[in-house]
């Protein structure tokens, strides 16, 4: 297989996996949010919690279906395009993915049907339990897949014989060095992303003066989470960075565009990394000497490895990692600001009257998604040129028989199908939000409850007919 085909296969995987991650990052948090609403409904008996749970369940159903169909593709792509990956790492990673299917996918798929359509068929408590089980399923799924992914970054608990990885210690494999940090970071990111969406939707209704009682509940729950999680995420991210310094120094050097390990690093806001002269062009720095060193080593005079310590063929692509990292951190700072200002207004008792704050916040719903994508691009591009660090290079993992034309054809097909199917899904979700909780939360019809998405359809059709 030639270089161009490898490059296309990488583009294809980046495209399908980036598209996929959008939906689970939303549904992990949303499942927990819905379960919380339903539990509060059972405890307090207040109708608004049930109404909100029904409303968000419809949006959950659409997102979940898109997560499932795009996820099936990934479980086969490891083999179609990356046969070398399954050959070399299959002994170690196979069981982790197998446990994801057995503990998480079946739990989600089975109880989702009851959560969506069981209103008239099972008792309220069993129904709430189903929602809780779906939330547990999404979390278990994240646990296993992030463990597998972390092992690719920081392999442990294995031995190599004839170029193939064999398991030695399963505990060390599952809880490999970067896993606790990656799991906490991604899990917090998923909850943060969902909280921002809930907050933004609540703010949108308050600005429009619609569904105000429900909107206030959404704003309070969403803002409460953002105010706590956004600063917490900064701390977790810092710890994750320290882990990267220890285990993947080349990635960290690329994140900071740091070349020379002998001098403390300044905090670079913008630069164009230049591979030709091993340095940066057009650097713009924060005027505090050694600030990046302080962030990374917690000492203004501290040093850490620079890109010059690595041979060019062992370095990740620098510019994508550097810029994606800045996008993620920048958005994280804005989230902290959004949470802090909101908390201040809340304490002063003027949150729901503060039109300027709510008007801005209603447009912030994509922030979490963009930050998550940027974060994944940092960590996955930063892992290059390795697929599994120190064990398998990406170039060696590709299926040898796959031709340029075959990868190009399927890439075009993926782009076409995903664009059609997913843009319509996003369009339907936006319609649902426009319709709002009261309109969407009708009693489920009698008779045989049907498809996972049919709850969404009902409201969406009304929205479309209403709009026409």
Partner 1 sequence: MVEMASGEAMATWLPIIWIGLLGAAVALYVVLDGFDLGIGILFPFSPEEQDRDVMMNSVAPFWDGNETWLILGGGGLFVAFPLAYGIIMSGFYLPVIIMLLALVFRGVAFEYRWVSKPHHRWWDIAFAGGSITAAFMQGIILGGLLHGLPVKDGHFSGGMLDWLQPFPLFVGIATVAGYALLGTTWLVMRTEGEVAVQAREQAPKLLLAVLAAMTIVSLWTPLAEPRIWDRWFTLPNLFYLAPIPILTAIAAVTVWRGLANHHDSTPFFGTVAMFLLGFAGLAISTLPYLVPPTLTIWDAAAAPSSQLFMLVGTVPLLPMILGYTAFVYWTFRGKVKPGEGYH
Q: 89-148: which residues touch partner 1 (CB under 8 A)?
A: 90-92, 94-95, 97-103, 105-107, 109-114, 117-118, 121-122
**Tokens 């689970």, located at residue:** 24
Judged by CB under 8 A, the residue of 11, 69, 207, 242 near partner 1 is 69
**Euclidean distance between CA atoms 227 and 337, whole angstroms:** 9
Total number of residues that touch partner 1 (CB under 8 A)? 82
Q: Minimum distance from CB of 343 to partner 1 (Å)?
A: 39
Q: Minimum distance from CB of 54 to partner 1 (Å)?
A: 14
Judged by CB under 8 A, the residue of 26, 33, 56, 78 near partner 1 is 78
Q: Does 415 bind partner 1 (CB under 8 A)?
A: no
Nearer to partner 1, 36 or 454 (CB): 454
Nearer to partner 1, 445 or 466 (CB): 445
Q: Minimum distance from CB of 191 to partner 1 (Å)?
A: 25
Judged by CB under 8 A, the residue of 86, 261, 274, 297 near partner 1 is 86
Judged by CB under 8 A, the residue of 428, 433, 436, 441 near partner 1 is 428
Q: Does 468 bind partner 1 (CB under 8 A)?
A: no
Q: What is the 3-state secondary structure (H, E, C) of the chain?
A: CCHHHHHHHHHHHHHHHHHHHHHHHHHHHHHHHHHHHHHHHHHHCCHHHHHHHHHHHHHHHHHHHHHHHHHHHHHHHHHHCCHHHHHHHHHHHHHHHHHHHHHHHHHHHHHHHHHHHHHHCCCHHHHHHHHHHHHHHHHHHHHHHHHHHHHHHCCCCEEEECCEEEECCHHHHHCCCCHHHHHHHHHHHHHHHHHHHHHHHHHHHHHHCCCHHHHHHHHHHHHHHHHHHHHHHHHHHHHHHHHHHHHCHHHHHHHHCCCCCCCCCCCEEEEEEECCCCEEEEEEECCCCCHHHHHHHCCCCCCCCCHHHCCHHHCCCHHHHHHHHHHHHHHHHHHHHHHHHHHHHHHHCCHHHCHHHHHHHCCCCCHHHHHHHHHHHHHHHHHCCEEECCCEEHHHHCCCCCCHHHHHHHHHHHHHHHHHHHHHHHHHHHHHHHHCHHHHCCCCCCCCCCCCCHHHHHHHHHHHHHHC
**Tokens 């706590």, located at residue:** 228
* Interface with partner 1 in residues 200-259 (CB under 8 A): none
Q: Does 450 bind partner 1 (CB under 8 A)?
A: yes
Which range binds partner 1 by CB under 8 A, 87-95, 221-229, 324-332, 350-358? 87-95
* Interface with partner 1 in residues 373-402 (CB under 8 A): 399-402
Q: Does 68 bind partner 1 (CB under 8 A)?
A: yes
Nearer to partner 1, 107 or 295 (CB): 107
* Interface with partner 1 in residues 11-40 (CB under 8 A): none
Q: Minimum distance from CB of 266 to partner 1 (Å)?
A: 46
Judged by CB under 8 A, the residue of 49, 60, 304, 414 near partner 1 is 414
Judged by CB under 8 A, the residue of 166, 213, 298, 359 near partner 1 is 166
Nearer to partner 1, 291 or 406 (CB): 406
Judged by CB under 8 A, the residue of 44, 46, 47, 72 near partner 1 is 72
Which range binds partner 1 by CB under 8 A, 88-96, 192-200, 242-250, 306-314? 88-96
Q: Minimum distance from CB of 412 to partner 1 (Å)?
A: 11
Instruction: Locate 45 and state its tokens.
Output: 């008996």
Nearer to partner 1, 37 or 453 (CB): 453
Nearer to partner 1, 310 or 422 (CB): 422
**37 to each of 46, 136, 187, 211, 300, how far by Cα in Å?**
10, 15, 19, 17, 46
Q: Does 270 bind partner 1 (CB under 8 A)?
A: no
Q: Minimum distance from CB of 204 to partner 1 (Å)?
A: 22
Nearer to partner 1, 219 or 387 (CB): 387
């Amino acid at each position: 297989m030639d270089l161009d085909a490898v490059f296309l296969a990488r583009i294809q995987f980046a495209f399908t996996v980036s598209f996929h991650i959008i939906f689970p990052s939303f549904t992990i948090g949303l499942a927990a949010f819905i379960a919380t609403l339903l539990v509060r409904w059972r405890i307090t008996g207040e109708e608004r919690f049930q109404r909100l749970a029904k409303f968000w369940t419809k949006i959950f159903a659409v997102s979940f279906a898109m997560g499932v169909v795009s996820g099936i593709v990934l479980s086969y792509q490891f083999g179609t395009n990356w046969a070398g990956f399954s050959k070399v790492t299959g002994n170690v990673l196979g069981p982790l993915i197998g446990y994801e299917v057995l503990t998480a996918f079946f739990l989600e798929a089975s109880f989702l049907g009851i959560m969506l359509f069981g209103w008239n068929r099972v008792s309220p408590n069993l129904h709430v339990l189903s929602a809780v089980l779906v939330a547990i399923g999404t979390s278990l799924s994240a646990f296993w897949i992030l463990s597998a992914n972390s092992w690719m970054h920081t392999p442990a608990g294995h031995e190599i014989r004839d170029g193939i990885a064999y398991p030695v210690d399963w505990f060390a494999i599952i809880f490999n060095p970067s896993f606790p940090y990656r799991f906490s970071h991604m899990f917090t990111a998923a909850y943060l992303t969902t909280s921002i969406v809930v907050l933004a939707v609540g703010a949108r209704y308050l600005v429009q003066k619609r569904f105000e009682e429900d909107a206030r509940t959404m704003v309070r729950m969403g803002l409460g989470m953002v105010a706590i999680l956004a600063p917490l995420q900064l701390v977790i991210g810092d710890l994750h960075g320290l882990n990267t310094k220890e285990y993947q120094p080349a990635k960290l050097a690329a994140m900071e565009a740091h070349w020379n390990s002998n001098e403390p690093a300044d905090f670079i806001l913008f630069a164009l990394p230049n591979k030709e002269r091993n340095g940066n062009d057009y650097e713009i720095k924060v005027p505090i000497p050694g600030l990046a060193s302080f962030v990374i080593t917690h000492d203004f005079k501290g040093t850490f490895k620079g890109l010059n310590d690595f041979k060019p063929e062992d370095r990740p692509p620098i510019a994508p990692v550097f810029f994606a990292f800045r996008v993620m951190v920048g958005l994280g700072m804005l989230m902290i600001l959004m949470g802090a200002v909101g908390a201040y207004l809340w304490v002063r008792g003027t949150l729901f009257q503060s039109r300027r704050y709510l008007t801005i916040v209603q447009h912030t719903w994509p922030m979490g998604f963009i930050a998550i994508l940027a974060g994944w691009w940092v960590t996955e591009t930063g892992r290059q040129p390795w697929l599994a660090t120190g064990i398998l290079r990406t170039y060696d993992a590709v299926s040898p028989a796959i031709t340029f034309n075959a990868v190009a054809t399927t890439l075009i097909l993926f782009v076409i199908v995903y664009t059609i199917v997913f843009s319509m899904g996003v369009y339907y979700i936006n319609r649902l939000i426009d319709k709002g909780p009261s309109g969407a939360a009708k009693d489920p019809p009698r008779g045989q409850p049907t498809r996972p998405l049919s709850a969404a359809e009902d409201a969406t059709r009304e929205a479309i007919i209403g709009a026409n």
